[in-house]
């Protein structure tokens, strides 16, 4: 019995601790304070009389638009843009109402004028909301006030300005009160402006963990703890997500008042480290004892899905001279990398969070992630607020020295490791490669460590730079720029791999990205030749016609005038500038015809016109009376608030908001039964309702559920308070309000599902096809770079390749978002989301491996590995491009794959054999001819092998989605051949015999 009481006491204490931490949150306190103050102002008649009979809408706008945000910058931005949008809506609506008042009251012209203005405002707001997502709330509040102003008192001249004045108070009251509540809480409690620097610091911790696990897999040691491959795979996925979120968080913080601009280069460094871990330290099977040997099928799919149980990585069962020679330098370099990234992490935290207690500085670190160089709370307390800079500068210099020493030692060891290799015979060379597979994997890991050392050195330089500036510069706020980027359009692609761009970032200057618009490019020349060919044909035909006419009798003056006019018009039409103008006009017409922004604006205006049509009928009509009795404005407003730019988001917000509306109506009716028209009870119950609403928003992430509940509360609870003479029962009022809001939401669901539907599945397949095309372009660009005469790439070529990689990253991020949207859609067809996620994962692996190819090919011996094996490289480039094109066509046309494709693996084996033969021949002629470049050659072969494995995985998942156009499906000893025999004959079969 005592044990039960003790457990109950512990559970009660844990619950009290959870709720205490919830109420101690700054944002929670600010939300509760703003709700309390706004409720008090609304129920005090001397203040609420300024808002007229709809003063309770101030509580609605407080939750819909002006709710308290996480930081002052976000609150200021929200307040300014929402007020501007509201003023714009009030101004345009007042203009429309004034024009309507010039006609007789309730005339057709007056009603038509108000209807036209409302539809125009809805169309413009939908266009701006879709084109500039940052102004979505601003456009919604503009439509909110316009619906109320233009659907009441149509054509009544004395009341043109009354509604406008009331809505000025309704808008300004919650805006000012929410901002003051936030400032009041910030005055007494310290408020963190941004968590961007914490995100970067915690991401470096994940990078360190991935480095340790990858190093243990590449160079296993008996003293190492067992590596959980499933955990390693999860860490790599988490690192990818963190890298994407860092870019998103900075793109949001870049438009606010910020102090984190000095650590912006670390975003690119984190992504580069992630890529090098992905292609240089992949999750692969280890050489295990016989009882742990995996089947070939499991081996081919090991990189796609990690094993369910932890798989240890014991030491290699045989001794290899290459692995033994590289193990020491690799471990030393790996430890130096971990120390360097840990030093950067500590510098970021100390620079941005000196005022916090020392015990909280590294609160996100787990016990297992603490390294030997980690600072303790006692060390930080002894440093003081300004003494840490000298200690950190010394730590940064020491970490850089250790990193450079380990890097130079690894390079020297790599350069001499192949001199001790035994010379293989010709027959033995045909049977196996020049060095064992595990030695190749170790070489690849060493190359990746060398690349990571360069990135870590740049990170240390960035950390040293802002550490030096800490003592000499004062705190500085970077203000936002009023540009299209501020309004929601993303910046042009900025490539941090460019050394000039990186130096500009480190110096704090902005680099304007310049698109590659060089007209001398071969692609442009080819396109111009095609257009010129058509022009030349037409000109030759015109010249022949003129010569034919000249050979006949001379034309009369009248005929000469007619011919000159026709010839002038034909020349003008076929002129080069006219063709360019026609092409631009065609592109403009095509973009307007297929513009998703115009389609969304049309749906916005169409829905508003249909739902508000009863409001513009004659005053004596039953439809007008019904609209006024049930307050149909709520139906129109809920339609505008639920209608999203895609179907999946509309369905998700739709059903959650319908549920929230019903819950809010039930609570409002119960609250009215408790407090009636007592102002003290109204304020208390409104604030009490804000507690679970705030928890749903801040802790559960269900704002789509809590916000509609808050919207449904004031019109029902305060209806009798502002209009005591109303005879309509409150239960009927609650049903009507909930019904109108739900009807608008259902209309939005139908509109987005029937009129120009934007199904995430369709866009996912199209974007996947486009991403495959970009991957093909990237692989061709890599092949073009390696085959050109000069070894050094120009800056334009490098930026073009890097921008292509950045564009593919954006497409992959968009594909992941579309899968999340697809999950919320209702569809008669099955949605193979598991296969779609696998497609995105495989495409991400292909992009990382192509990045590894670009890195390793920069230092391979061109003569031995490119010029002398040109035919073999041409074959493998063709095979890879054909496979990518086949998958691209399958996703674009939703058609099955062909049964047989040229085998990339067969072409790779041929290329690998020729390269090893050339390297062996060069080493026999001069043992000192090959050094570090040979290691890069072997690393390139290993990356290429992984790329082919991933490409076959892509063909497999594409075939499982769309099938195979098979012509050889019967089982026969004559026709049926194993999969490896197809590879030996140069063909890859996409047909799965086990499915027959």
Q: Are residues 348 and 466 in the same domain?
A: yes
pLDDT digits (tens, 9 = 90+) for 443-494: 888 899 999 999 999 999 999 888 887 766 666 656 655 566 555 544 333 3
Highest mean pLDDT pick, 169-173, 294-298, 350-354: 169-173
**Backbone phi, psi, residue 970, to 5°:** -85, 145
Share of the chain above pLDDT 70, in %: 75
- Distance between CA 663 and CA 729 in Å, rounded? 19
3-state secondary structure of 478: strand
> Terminal CA-to-CA distance of the chain, rounded, Å?
64
Question: What are the tokens at 904?
Answer: 């990339």
Assign 262 a pLDDT band (cuts: 50, 70, 90): confident
- Residue 538 placed within a domain: no
The more confident residue out of 421 and 220 is 220
Question: What are the tokens at 783?
Answer: 């092949």
Q: Are residues 282 and 382 in the same domain?
A: yes
Count of structural domains within the chain: 3
- Residue 499 placed within a domain: no
**Cβ contacts of 713 within 8 Å, gap of 6 or more:** 59, 664, 667, 668, 671, 686, 689
For the entire predicted model, the pTM comes to 0.77
Report the CATH number that the domain containing residue 830 is assigned in CATH.
1.20.58.220
Assign 365 a pLDDT band (cuts: 50, 70, 90): low
- Residue 654 placed within a domain: yes
Q: What is the mean pLDDT of residues 797-821?
A: 87
Assign 495 a pLDDT band (cuts: 50, 70, 90): very low
Among 488, 505, 524, the domain-final residue is: 488
Q: In angstroms, how far is CA 761 from the centroid of its own chain?
A: 17
Among 430, 456, 488, the domain-final residue is: 488
* Range of weakest confidence among 532-536, 560-564, 788-792: 532-536
Q: Are residues 167 and 110 in the same domain?
A: yes
- Residue 41 placed within a domain: yes
Q: Are residues 179 and 282 in the same domain?
A: no
Q: Are residues 683 and 832 in the same domain?
A: no
Asked if residue 38 has pLDDT above 60, the reply is yes
- Residue 819 placed within a domain: yes
- Residue 258 placed within a domain: yes
Per-residue burial over 950-962, b if 16 or more Cβ lie within 10 Å, else e, is bbbbbbbbbbebb
Residue 507 CB neighbour total at 10 angstroms: 8
* H and E: helices and strands count for the chain: 37, 4
Assign 352 a pLDDT band (cuts: 50, 70, 90): confident
Candidates 618, 590, 654, 890; CA nearest to 769 is: 890
DSSP state of 432: S
pLDDT digits (tens, 9 = 90+) for 578-588: 888 888 888 88
Q: Are residues 604 and 676 in the same domain?
A: yes
The more confident residue out of 72 and 663 is 663
- Distance between CA 986 and CA 972 in Å, rounded? 21
DSSP state of 195: -
Q: Are residues 160 and 200 in the same domain?
A: no
- Residue 838 placed within a domain: yes
**In contact, 601 and 127? CB cutoff 8 Å:** yes
Mean pLDDT of the chain: 78
Q: Are residues 207 and 177 in the same domain?
A: no
Asked if residue 687 has pLDDT above 90, the reply is yes
Q: Are residues 764 and 711 in the same domain?
A: no
Question: How high is the pLDDT of residue 84?
Answer: 94
- Distance between CA 209 and CA 359 in Å, rounded? 22
pLDDT digits (tens, 9 = 90+) for 181-205: 988 888 877 655 557 788 888 999 9
For residue 155, the enclosing domain spans 21-190+599-754
pLDDT digits (tens, 9 = 90+) for 726-782: 788 889 989 998 899 889 988 988 888 888 887 888 889 999 999 999 999 999 988
User: 698-707 — which CB contacts under 8 Å span 24+ positions?
Assistant: 698/25, 698/27, 698/28, 699/22, 702/656, 704/652, 704/653, 704/656, 704/657, 704/660, 705/656, 705/657, 705/659, 705/660, 705/663, 706/660, 707/63, 707/64, 707/657, 707/660
Provide the β-strand partners of residue 897.
Answer: 964
- Residue 583 placed within a domain: no
The packing angle between helices 321-352 and 388-416, to 10°, is 160
Q: Are residues 635 and 783 in the same domain?
A: no
Q: Are residues 722 and 795 in the same domain?
A: no
Q: What angle do CA 546, 549, 555 make, to 5 degrees?
A: 115
* Range of weakest confidence among 122-131, 503-512, 685-694, 932-941: 503-512
Among 754, 775, 798, the domain-final residue is: 754
Q: What is the mean pLDDT of residues 228-244?
A: 89
- Distance between CA 951 and CA 441 in Å, rounded? 19
Candidates 42, 159, 59; CA nearest to 106 is: 159
pLDDT digits (tens, 9 = 90+) for 648-680: 777 777 778 888 889 999 999 999 999 988 999
Asked if residue 639 has pLDDT above 80, the reply is yes
Question: How high is the pLDDT of residue 118?
Answer: 95
Share of the chain above pLDDT 90, in %: 30
């Amino acid at each position: 019995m005592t044990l039960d009481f003790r457990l109950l006491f512990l559970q009660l204490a844990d619950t009290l601790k959870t709720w205490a931490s919830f109420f101690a949150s700054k944002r929670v306190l600010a939300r509760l304070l703003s709700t309390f103050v706004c409720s008090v102002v609304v129920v005090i008649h001397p203040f609420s009389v300024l808002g007229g009979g709809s003063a309770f809408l101030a509580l609605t706008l407080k939750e819909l638009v002006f709710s308290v945000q996480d930081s002052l910058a976000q609150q200021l931005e929200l307040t300014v843009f929402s007020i501007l949008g509201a003023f714009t809506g009030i101004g345009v609506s007042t203009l429309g109402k004034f024009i309507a008042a010039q006609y007789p009251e309730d005339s057709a012209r007056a009603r038509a004028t108000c209807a036209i203005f409302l539809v125009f405002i809805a169309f413009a707001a939908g266009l701006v909301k879709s084109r500039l997502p940052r102004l979505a709330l601003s456009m919604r509040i503009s439509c909110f006030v316009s619906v109320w102003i233009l659907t009441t008192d149509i054509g009544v001249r004395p009341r043109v300005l009354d509604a406008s004045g009331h809505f000025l108070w309704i808008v300004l009251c919650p805006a000012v009160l929410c901002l003051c509540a936030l400032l009041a809480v910030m005055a007494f409690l310290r408020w963190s402006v941004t968590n961007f620097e914490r995100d970067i610091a915690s991401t470096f911790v994940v990078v360190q963990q991935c480095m340790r696990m990858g190093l243990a897999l590449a160079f296993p040691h008996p003293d190492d703890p067992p590596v959980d491959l499933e955990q390693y795979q999860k860490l790599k996925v988490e690192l990818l997500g963190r890298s994407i979120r860092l870019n998103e968080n900075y793109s949001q913080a870049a438009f606010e008042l910020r102090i984190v601009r000095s650590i912006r280069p670390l975003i690119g460094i984190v992504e580069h480290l992630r890529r090098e871990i992905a292609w240089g330290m992949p999750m692969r099977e280890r050489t295990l004892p016989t009882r742990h040997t995996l089947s070939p099928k499991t081996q081919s799919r090991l990189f796609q899905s990690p094993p369910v149980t932890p798989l240890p990585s014991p030491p290699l069962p045989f001794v290899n001279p290459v692995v033994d020679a590289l193990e020491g330098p690799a471990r030393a370099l790996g430890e130096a990398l971990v120390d360097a990234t840990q030093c950067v992490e500590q510098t970021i935290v100390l620079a941005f969070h000196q005022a916090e207690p020392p015990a909280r500085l590294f609160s996100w670190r787990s016990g297992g992630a603490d390294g030997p160089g980690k600072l303790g709370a006692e060390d930080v307390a002894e440093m003081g607020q300004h003494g840490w800079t000298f200690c950190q500068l010394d730590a940064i210099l020491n970490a850089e020295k250790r990193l450079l020493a380990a890097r130079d030692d690894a390079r020297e060891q790599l350069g001499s490791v192949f001199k001790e290799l035994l010379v293989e015979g010709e027959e033995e060379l045909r049977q196996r490669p020049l060095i064992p597979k595990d030695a190749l994997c170790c070489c690849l890991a060493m190359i990746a460590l060398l690349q990571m050392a360069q990135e870590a050195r740049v990170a240390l330089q960035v950390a040293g730079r802002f550490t030096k500036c800490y003592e000499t510069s004062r705190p500085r706020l970077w203000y936002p720029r009023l540009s299209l980027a501020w309004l929601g359009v993303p910046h042009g692609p900025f490539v941090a791999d460019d050394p000039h761009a990186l130096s500009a970032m480190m110096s704090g200057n902005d680099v304007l990205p310049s698109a590659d618009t060089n007209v001398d490019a071969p692609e442009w020349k080819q396109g111009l030749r095609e257009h010129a060919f058509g022009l030349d044909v037409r000109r030759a035909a015109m010249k022949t016609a003129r010569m034919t006419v000249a050979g006949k009798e001379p034309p009369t003056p009248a005929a000469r005038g007619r011919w000159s006019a026709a010839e002038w018009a034909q020349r003008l039409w076929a002129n080069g500038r006219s063709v360019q103008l026609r092409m631009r006009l065609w592109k403009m017409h095509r973009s307007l015809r297929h513009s998703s922004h115009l389609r969304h604006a049309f749906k916005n205006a169409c829905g508003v016109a249909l739902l508000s049509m009863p409001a513009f009928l004659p005053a004596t009509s039953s439809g007008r009376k019904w609209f006024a009795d049930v307050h149909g404005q709520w139906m129109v407003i809920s339609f505008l608030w639920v209608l999203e730019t895609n179907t999946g988001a509309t369905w998700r917000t739709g059903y959650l908001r319908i549920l929230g509306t019903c819950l809010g109506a039930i609570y409002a009716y119960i609250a009215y039964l408790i407090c009636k028209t007592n102002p003290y009870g109204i304020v208390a119950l409104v604030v009490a309702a804000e507690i679970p609403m705030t928890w749903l928003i801040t802790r559960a992430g269900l704002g789509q559920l809590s916000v509609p509940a808050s919207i449904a509360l004031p019109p029902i609870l305060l209806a009798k308070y502002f209009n005591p003479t109303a005879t309509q029962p409150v239960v009927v009022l609650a049903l009507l309000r909930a019904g109108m809001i739900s009807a608008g939401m259902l209309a939005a669901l139908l509109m987005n599902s029937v009129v120009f539907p934007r199904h995430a599945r369709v866009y996912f397949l199209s974007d996947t096809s486009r991403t495959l095309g970009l991957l093909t372009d990237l692989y061709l660009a890599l092949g073009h770079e390696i085959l050109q005469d000069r070894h050094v790439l120009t800056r334009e070529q490098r930026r073009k390749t890097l921008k292509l990689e950045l564009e593919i990253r954006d497409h992959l991020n968009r594909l992941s978002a579309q899968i999340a949207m697809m999950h919320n859609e209702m569809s008669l067809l099955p949605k193979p989301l598991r296969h779609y996620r696998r497609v995105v994962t495989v495409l991400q692996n292909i992009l990382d491996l192509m990045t590894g190819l670009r890195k390793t090919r920069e230092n391979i011996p061109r003569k031995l590995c490119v010029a002398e094996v040109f035919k073999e490289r041409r074959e493998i480039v063709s095979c890879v491009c054909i496979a990518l094109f086949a998958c691209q066509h399958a996703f674009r046309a939703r058609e099955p794959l062909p049964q047989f494709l040229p085998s990339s693996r067969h072409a790779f084996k041929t290329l690998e054999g020729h390269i090893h033969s050339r390297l062996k021949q060069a080493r026999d002629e001069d043992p000192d001819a090959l050094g570090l470049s040979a290691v890069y050659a072997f690393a390139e072969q290993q990356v290429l092998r992984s790329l082919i494995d991933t490409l076959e995985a892509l063909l497999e998942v594409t075939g499982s989605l769309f099938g195979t156009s098979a012509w050889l499906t019967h089982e026969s000893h004559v026709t049926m051949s194993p999969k490896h025999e197809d590879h030996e004959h140069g063909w890859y079969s996409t047909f799965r015999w086990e499915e027959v």
